Chains A and B, each alone.
Chain A
């Protein structure tokens, strides 16, 4: 994909360079594995300190500080410590890890090996979703190449440190992206997430051993932190939002795609880089960080107080494109999967589409999530099929309210937030829609196609 001049590429620096291949030769010709060579001469704690100082935050969804996560690892238990790279990439709207794995797999392996060395890990896993079969093959091949050159396996670069990486394929279940569901799956079980406490992966993770779970993009950044130093890394982005982020933009823009950027506003990404809406259309709303995140409505003012007491008053396009900016606007940057909804999109139909997703993907352990997601699918579905009932909007809010915060894992929020936020921002549309669609003569074809749930 062509690189936009406003991008600042770090993790995807070489991925789209003409002639660049996933082979180790390409990577080595671009300084590949130099940072691993540096890492094995350092004290492991010094690497952890550097990552901590960089203020790198997780790129998988929750945005938790990476160095802090590593510092929670129980190093006194006497048990082995595991590291798992989360390449499940199943949050709707997200397609960045796919680029890294298919185009520059060695960067991920180098980032993992640095992270493993820093945390005294002797066995690491890459959990990759089943729907990326070539990605799994590319990774297997890359690990073999890296072993041949002494970057992975026994006695890494003659340092006396050894670590294996195993690629593990999923089988098409979204919940395997949730870190404790992933761990269960890797243990050969159903991916039923575990309750925290006590099952914090850093203490009781894989095989009840201390375990680090990080996203693909997060782990790649370890390479760049060693390269640039924590101070250099922090120069990109606002304080507490250090480094670049790869945004995945899909839906109603002229140039959908993945874009790696530093500090900028949401408007710069959506209008300048992605070219704004299609001709004759306008942007209605944006789901900023994967389908689980609350929706941002265009035309609304986003107001509040900054930590220093000053006030902000933004339009959608002014929202700073980072963790804290999107949080200040009432949503989350999540996985970086941004779905743009233009004025042709019916919000209730979009919700029906997503509720079909969530009810299909609930692992079924918690009653509120299993039953609630199915109810929400049924209600939104009858709405788009013209059988809405007057009480449906309130019923949906009631059901969503009974899921949020009452489940084992954060999937519960992922079901409830779209319902709650779409109704909060577009309540009229839901109510009018329900009334209008009860009209047997209404044209429901486009709406059914958008809901796409059979």
Chain B
């Protein structure tokens, strides 16, 4: 395992926060996924070893939670909310626009590897629907035009 020093520091800081080591599984997986882009089998075994639990107990967590992934995705992770309030406000059109801008298919990395677009379930921002997350940033009150601007910005950043 080749983890960045700051990832290792984050991991060492997380474990003693919990009365029982197994509780640190999710914070460790968050740290590793941020560092490596996905959770490999090797990483799952490493976490198990680190926390003194069986590898299956780590893998069962990785496979249960939608945010944890075993395969890498595009450089930017775009999650468009599909749940009712966003759908009533046009979330579906926003998603279509983002997909077509990157010539991408839902849930697959775009051909240029820049983005992976997925649907998300209610992002707890329904009052400013439709919304989407680009990595950690929430974009609200989207329209097809606004979605295009955001895509243009991502493309420009990719070239820079």
Q: Give bound CA distance, A406 to B113, whole Å.
A: 45
- In the complex, the chain B residue whose C-beta lies closest to that of A253 is B127
From 88 to 103 in chain A, residues with beta carbon under 8 angstroms from any chain B beta carbon are 89-95, 97-98
Give the chain A neighbours of B82 by CB distance below 8 A: 353, 356, 452-453
B120 → chain A, closest Cβ, in Å? 7
Q: A98: nearest residue on chain B (CB-CB)? A: B124
Across the two chains, which residue of chain B brings its CB closest to A191? B64
State A174–B66 Cα separation when bound (angstroms).
Answer: 10
Which of the candidate stretches A128-136, A309-317, A392-400 sits at the interface with the other chain?
A128-136
Contact A357–B121 (Cβ < 8 Å) = yes
* Beta-carbon contact of A173 and B64 below 8 Å: yes
- In chain A, what residue has the closest Cβ to B30? A169
Chain A residue total in the interface (Cβ 8 A): 62
Please state if A173 and B61 are interface contacts (CB–CB under 8 Å). no
Asked if A450 and B124 sit within 8 Å, CB to CB, the answer is no
Closest-CB distance, B137 to chain A (whole angstroms)? 9
Give chain A interface residues in 243-273, CB to chain B under 8 Å: 248-252, 256-258
The answer to whether A130 and B126 have CB atoms under 8 Å apart is no
A172 touches B126 (CB 8 A): no
Evaluate contact between A95 and B126: CB separation under 8 angstroms.
yes
Within 8 Å CB of A188, what residues of B? 20, 22-26, 51, 53, 57, 61
Residues of B close to A97: CB separation below 8 A: 124
Q: A188-B25, A251-B85, A357-B122 are in contact. Are A256 and B57 (CB under 8 A)?
A: no
| Cross-chain contact A187 with B22 (CB below 8 angstroms) | yes
B138 CB to nearest A CB, Å = 8
The segment out of A49-57, A104-112, A337-345 that lies at the interface is A337-345
Q: What per-residue 1/0 map shows which CB atoms of A136-173 lie under 8 Å from chain B?
A: 00000000000000000000000000001010111111
23 contacts between A and B (CB under 8 A): A90-B122, A92-B83, A94-B124, A95-B127, A131-B123, A131-B133, A168-B27, A169-B27, A172-B65, A173-B66, A188-B57, A189-B61, A191-B65, A248-B126, A250-B85, A251-B84, A258-B127, A291-B83, A291-B122, A353-B87, A356-B82, A452-B87, A453-B82
A411 CB, nearest partner CB in chain B, Å: 14
Whole-angstrom CA separation of A14 from B64 in the bound complex = 38
| Cβ-defined contact, A174 with B121, below 8 A | yes
* Cβ contacts under 8 Å, A291 to chain B: 83-84, 122
A190 interface residue (CB < 8 Å to B): yes
Chain B residues, CB < 8 A from A449: 87, 90, 92-93
- List B residues 86-103 near A (Cβ within 8 Å): 86-93, 95
CB closest chain-B residue, reference A169? B30
- Residues on A with beta carbons closer than 8 Å to the beta carbon of B26: 168-171, 185, 188
**A361 CB within 8 Å of chain B:** yes
Q: Is B115 an interface residue (CB 8 A)?
A: no
Closest chain B residue to A173, Cβ basis:
B65
Which A-chain residue is minimally distant from B83 (CB atoms)? A92
Chain A residue at smallest Cβ distance from B17: A166
Contact of A256 among B68, B127, B136 (CB under 8 A): B127
- A92-B122, A353-B84, A454-B106 given; A248·B136 CB < 8 A: no
Asked if A354 lies at the interface with its beta carbon under 8 angstroms from chain B, I say yes
Taking the complex as formed, is A224 at the interface, i.e. its CB lies under 8 A from any CB of chain B? no
Option from B25, B57, B67, B121 in Cβ contact (under 8 Å) with A92: B121
Partner of A89, one of B53, B68, B90, B124: B124
Which A residues form the contact surface with B (CB < 8 A)? 80, 89-95, 97-98, 123, 129-134, 164, 166, 168-174, 185-191, 207, 248-252, 256-258, 291, 337, 339, 341, 345, 350, 353-354, 356-357, 360-361, 363, 448-454
Digit string of B27-61 for contact with A (CB within 8 Å is 1, else 0)?
A: 10110000000000000000000010100010011
Q: How far is the CA of A450 from the CA of B92 in the complex (A)?
A: 7
In the complex with contacts A190-B61, A190-B64, A256-B126, A452-B91 CB distance below 8 A: yes
Interface string of B121-160 (1 = CB under 8 A from A): 1111111110001001000000000000000000000000
Contacts of B67 in A (CB 8 A): 130, 170-172
Q: A186 to B18, alpha carbons, bound, how many Å?
A: 9
Q: Which A residues lie within 8 Å of B121 (CB)?
A: 90, 92, 172, 174, 357, 360-361
Which B residues are in CB contact (< 8 Å) with A354?
83-84
The answer to whether B5 has its CB under 8 Å from any CB of chain A is no
Chain B residue nearest to A133 (CB atoms) is B136
* A450 in contact with B87 (CB, 8 Å): yes
Whole-angstrom distance between the Cβ of B20 and the nearest chain A Cβ: 6
Contact of A172 among B18, B66, B106 (CB under 8 A): B66
CA distance A448 to B90 in the complex (A): 11
Q: Which of A90, A131, A171, A250 is close to B127, meaning CB atoms less than 8 Å apart?
A: A250
Within 8 Å CB of A350, what residues of B? Answer: 84, 88
Please name the residue on chain A nearest to B91 by beta carbon. A452
> What CA separation (Å) do A260 and B29 show in the bound complex?
37
Instruction: Supply 13 further A-B pairs (C-beta < 8 A) apart from A291-B122, A449-B90.
Output: A94-B122, A134-B136, A164-B17, A171-B30, A171-B66, A172-B121, A188-B22, A189-B22, A249-B127, A256-B126, A449-B93, A452-B87, A452-B92
- Kindly state the separation between the CA atoms of A389 and B71 in the bound complex, as whole angstroms: 39
In the complex, A186→B26 CA distance in Å? 8
Q: A27–B95 Cα gap in the complex (Å)?
A: 39
Residues of A within 8 A of B27 (CB): 168-169
Contacts of A80 in B (CB 8 A): 19
* Contact of B18 with A95 in the complex, beta carbons under 8 Å: no
A207 / chain B contacts, CB cutoff of 8 Å: 19-20
A339 and B85 contact, CB distance less than 8 A: yes
- Which chain A residue has the least Cβ–Cβ distance from B51? A188
